[in-house]
A and B are shown apart, each in its own frame.
Chain A
Amino acid sequence: MRTDRLEGGAVSDVPALAAEGAAVDLDGTTLLAPTTFSVMPGEFRCLTGSNGSGKTTLLRAFLGSRRLTDGTVLVHGEPVDMARPRHRRLVASLVEPVPVARDMTLREQVTLVAASWYGNTAATAERADEIIGRLGLTTLGTRFPSQLSSGQLQLFHLALTLVRPADVVLLDEPERHLDTDRVALVGALLAERARQGTSFLVATHEPALVKAGDGVMELG
């Protein structure tokens, strides 16, 4: 069984994310060995490990799209259940592939996601413009997805994920296709959001992101 190696400072007594002996076996193959750790509110924690060590499986378990075969995972002290509106309210994720609309511009799509939370209020445009600006996508706002490079698409996916409010954000390799500057940009943004109270659990192979976070949990 693994234990948490992070010496992070606790903000609240109830962890934002907690795994207790969480394990996944599929037809005799171990996808995730028993794992125990927690992420406190406002903490930015990275998950590292070799391919197949269970990083994505653990993220999916917190998301609710992968059932555990042993142990438990909790979000703010409550069992994970995607069918519960409260779970969907608390957790934002970029773990599974994000479908995009080929006939809507980048700005339109980010604004649409914001509108799903703020309706037709001024906050919708504000939040969308803010995240587009923070990720350096302002000049690309009028482009369609087919007109974006792989790295720009990754930033676009991050914008779709981060434009909504969330207490917990799960990210699977957010550094995919990004150059060094953009990785630093994303790392800084996540750290800033964490200071505002959002908890992050990020599976990554990127040392710069690990450095930007509050701690690391190594699987495998």
Chain B
Amino acid sequence: MTTGSITETEADPRARVHAVRHRYAHRGDRATPQDRAYSVYLTAILGLVYVAPVVYLVRTTRPLLSLESSAAATPVACLVAAAAVWGAQLAGRFWGPLVLKPFLLHVFMNTDLPPASYLGAIARRRLAYAGLGTLLVMCTATFLATDLFDHAGSALVPQSAAVALATGAVAPVAWLWGQVRTVRDNLLLATAVAATAVTVTLLGRSALLGGAGLWLVAGVLTVAAAVLGSSAFRSVPTVDLARLARESARAAEAQTFAWTGTLHHALDLYRPEPRGLTSALTRPDGRLRGHLAQGAVRALRTRGRAIAAAVFLLTGGAVLTLGVTTPDARLSTLSWAAGAAGVYWGSGWVGETWRGLRDELTLTPLLGERWGGTLARTLAWPVAVVTVTVGLASGTVILTRSPLQAGGPALLVTASVVLALGARFLREMKTNLPIELLLPVITPLGDLSALRVFVWQFDGLVVVLAGVLVMNEMPSTPTATLTALALTAWCLRAGLRRTGRPLRRLLTRLGRA
């Protein structure tokens, strides 16, 4: 049966796309209206139980950012909009709006239908949802974190709403742009966004606009949305279908992991593939290089991730130190927590040796258990890099702030970094979802087992943030430091227990040189 034999019976492209979509939408275990209604019900209950108290607490305290004039609000709006565009671009590189179910994409890809005929409608619908979501998040964040919406008659209210709307328009198209354009185009766009944000900020703070800085931000964002949207949609017909198929297959696998409670396995699928330096692990005479050199070589095989780690460690270290050295400032706790989270993330991206440690401790040792030096082999590189990088950033911040304070800030920074490393160890030792987490936790507020599973998914981050909050509440630096050390010890013990092996035997094995 050749293609020449189907010309009489072949339907037009629109009808073919419709036929496939219709049949796929009516497949076996699709969600029923009752399923969707139950999801809405659960979301409402969770919102009432967990989100409503937070909203109430935030609204009854002073706003985090007091933006009383357009000149004060414009830089914040520019920063938020730029971050939204950058985040959307990055998300598009990993999980863009054109990602489909692999089977459905395979069916379409194996026809002569132009990609725009089956991807265009899906992209438009997803961008509309993403726009609504962005708008909702922007308005909620503005309502909770600033005082812009507090005065109903203020001229800043319509301006802020316009900025939120425009950001809701530009972020989704940046998401599509991130997926369909090349890395080079994305870097150019990111640079242009940074330059535009700086220019608009300067203009907004000057007297030239007379308090209309937010209108300028909204206008620029609207024009950007129109230009970017048109350009991104023009690229849809020429999208690389083979790459899209790979992305869709990976996304489907990741979704399965995420739905079955092992988000860390899903994230593993997005680790970059190593490239280059294929013979750099050994010296010219054939001997293996030292632990630090090996770690550096392996990190440089995934340069993008290594750069991201360096940026997060340096920025995290600086922000963390700023938070610690200004205990009276209103943003200090936030800065401290954000910095510690940055160090936590950076410590994970700095190398693959964490994974080596987990594998050595959890997998069956096929060559026997007499191999020593596990800790030096696996931890030397990440611990050294985190210590040196954060130390540099932190030292620079401490030295540039006057007057110089005594050892307190350095001790708190060190304790926070140790806590971040302990939390990283805890997270990296994670294997499969423990079955006991699925048991019901009956409380007056209902079954909270879902909350426990949620916390388990993000346990490292939760430990870091909770630890910083507890340290912040401690009356003195030594007590805060002891708290961090106690939490780190707990992380180490819990991490070792996750291997499923007796603690004493494990410690003996780790102690071998």
Residues of A within 8 A of B (CB): 65, 82-83, 85-86, 88-90, 92, 98-101, 103-105, 108-109, 111-113, 115-121, 123-124, 127, 144, 164-167, 193, 196-198
B104: chain A residues within 8 A (beta carbon)? 101
Q: Does B10 contact A117, Cβ atoms closer than 8 Å?
A: yes
A164: chain B residues within 8 A (beta carbon)? 110-111
**Known A-B contacts A116-B20, A123-B9; A86 and B112 likewise in contact (beta carbons under 8 Å):** yes
A104: chain B residues within 8 A (beta carbon)? 24, 27-28, 103
Q: Does A119 contact B19, Cβ atoms closer than 8 Å?
A: yes
For residue B404, CB closer than 8 A to chain A, the reply is: no
B23: chain A residues within 8 A (beta carbon)? 108, 111-112, 115
Q: Does A99 contact B249, Cβ atoms closer than 8 Å?
A: yes
For residue B114, CB closer than 8 A to chain A, the reply is: yes
A165: chain B residues within 8 A (beta carbon)? 1-3, 5-6
Min distance, Cβ A160 to any Cβ of chain B, angstroms: 8
Give 17 CB contacts A-B under 8 Å: A83-B238, A83-B240, A83-B241, A99-B249, A99-B252, A104-B24, A112-B107, A113-B110, A115-B16, A116-B107, A117-B6, A118-B16, A120-B18, A121-B11, A164-B110, A165-B5, A197-B2
A114 CA / B18 CA spacing, docked (Å): 13
Q: Which 7 A-B pairs rank lowest in CB-CB distance, beginning with the nearest?
A: A119-B11, A89-B112, A99-B102, A85-B112, A119-B15, A101-B103, A115-B19
**Known A-B contacts A103-B27, A119-B16, A120-B19; A198 and B103 likewise in contact (beta carbons under 8 Å):** no
| Chain B interface, >50% SS class | helix
A104 CA / B26 CA spacing, docked (Å): 9
In B390-444, which residues have CB < 8 Å from any A CB?
A: none
Given A120-B22, A198-B1, 15 more A-B residue pairs with CB atoms under 8 Å apart are: A83-B240, A85-B112, A98-B106, A99-B249, A104-B24, A112-B20, A112-B24, A113-B110, A116-B16, A118-B6, A118-B11, A119-B18, A165-B1, A165-B3, A193-B1
**Known A-B contacts A101-B103, A109-B103, A112-B23; A117 and B111 likewise in contact (beta carbons under 8 Å):** yes
**Known A-B contacts A90-B3, A108-B27, A165-B1; A115 and B9 likewise in contact (beta carbons under 8 Å):** no
A143 CA / B10 CA spacing, docked (Å): 28
Min distance, Cβ A111 to any Cβ of chain B, angstroms: 7
Closest B residue to A27 by beta carbon equals B278
Among A98, A104, A115, the one with the most B-chain Cβ atoms within 10 Å of its Cβ is A115
B interface, size bucket: 35 or more
Min distance, Cβ A121 to any Cβ of chain B, angstroms: 6
A164 CA / B107 CA spacing, docked (Å): 10
Q: Does A116 contact B1, Cβ atoms closer than 8 Å?
A: no
A124: chain B residues within 8 A (beta carbon)? 19
Closest B residue to A114 by beta carbon equals B19
Interface string of B107-149 (1 = CB under 8 A from A): 1111111100000000000000000000000000000000000
A121 CA / B2 CA spacing, docked (Å): 18
B30: chain A residues within 8 A (beta carbon)? 103
Closest A residue to B30 by beta carbon equals A103
A83 CA / B103 CA spacing, docked (Å): 19
Q: Does A65 contact B242, Cβ atoms closer than 8 Å?
A: yes
For residue B29, CB closer than 8 A to chain A, the reply is: yes
B271: chain A residues within 8 A (beta carbon)? none
Given A83, A108, A166, which contacts B3 in the complex, CB threshold below 8 Å? A166
For residue B101, CB closer than 8 A to chain A, the reply is: yes
A167: chain B residues within 8 A (beta carbon)? 2-4
A123: chain B residues within 8 A (beta carbon)? 6, 9
B249: chain A residues within 8 A (beta carbon)? 99
Min distance, Cβ B6 to any Cβ of chain A, angstroms: 5
Min distance, Cβ A62 to any Cβ of chain B, angstroms: 15
**Known A-B contacts A82-B242, A88-B109; A120 and B2 likewise in contact (beta carbons under 8 Å):** no
A166: chain B residues within 8 A (beta carbon)? 1-3
Min distance, Cβ B2 to any Cβ of chain A, angstroms: 5
A100: chain B residues within 8 A (beta carbon)? 103
Given A82, A103, A118, A121, which contacts B29 in the complex, CB threshold below 8 Å? A103
Q: Does B110 contact A88, Cβ atoms closer than 8 Å?
A: yes
Q: Does A116 contact B28, Cβ atoms closer than 8 Å?
A: no
B5: chain A residues within 8 A (beta carbon)? 165, 197
A105: chain B residues within 8 A (beta carbon)? 28
A101 CA / B104 CA spacing, docked (Å): 8
Interface string of B24-62 (1 = CB under 8 A from A): 100111100000000000000000000000000000000
B102: chain A residues within 8 A (beta carbon)? 99
Min distance, Cβ B221 to any Cβ of chain A, angstroms: 33
Min distance, Cβ A112 to any Cβ of chain B, angstroms: 5
**Known A-B contacts A88-B109, A165-B5, A198-B1; A103 and B19 likewise in contact (beta carbons under 8 Å):** no
Closest B residue to A63 by beta carbon equals B242
A101 CA / B248 CA spacing, docked (Å): 13
Closest A residue to B101 by beta carbon equals A101
A85: chain B residues within 8 A (beta carbon)? 112-114
Interface string of B246-289 (1 = CB under 8 A from A): 00010010000000000000000000000000000000000000
A123 CA / B249 CA spacing, docked (Å): 30
Q: Does A113 contact B107, Cβ atoms closer than 8 Å?
A: yes
Min distance, Cβ A138 to any Cβ of chain B, angstroms: 19
**Known A-B contacts A165-B3, A196-B2; A116 and B24 likewise in contact (beta carbons under 8 Å):** no
A113 CA / B105 CA spacing, docked (Å): 11
Closest B residue to A127 by beta carbon equals B1
B107: chain A residues within 8 A (beta carbon)? 112-113, 116
Given B2, B9, B19, which contacts A116 in the complex, CB threshold below 8 Å? B19
Given A88, A103, A121, A144, which contacts B9 in the complex, CB threshold below 8 Å? A121
Min distance, Cβ A108 to any Cβ of chain B, angstroms: 6
Min distance, Cβ B39 to any Cβ of chain A, angstroms: 18
Q: Does B29 contact A116, Cβ atoms closer than 8 Å?
A: no
Min distance, Cβ A145 to any Cβ of chain B, angstroms: 10
A112 CA / B101 CA spacing, docked (Å): 14
Min distance, Cβ B323 to any Cβ of chain A, angstroms: 47
Min distance, Cβ B502 to any Cβ of chain A, angstroms: 38
Given A101, A109, A117, A198, which contacts B16 in the complex, CB threshold below 8 Å? A117
Closest B residue to A87 by beta carbon equals B112
Q: Does A101 contact B27, Cβ atoms closer than 8 Å?
A: yes
A92 CA / B111 CA spacing, docked (Å): 9
Q: Does A92 contact B110, Cβ atoms closer than 8 Å?
A: yes
A101: chain B residues within 8 A (beta carbon)? 24, 27, 101, 103-104
Q: Does A120 contact B15, Cβ atoms closer than 8 Å?
A: yes
Interface string of B79-121 (1 = CB under 8 A from A): 0000000000000000000000111111111111110000000
B9: chain A residues within 8 A (beta carbon)? 118, 121, 123
Among B1, B6, B252, the one with the most A-chain Cβ atoms within 10 Å of its Cβ is B1
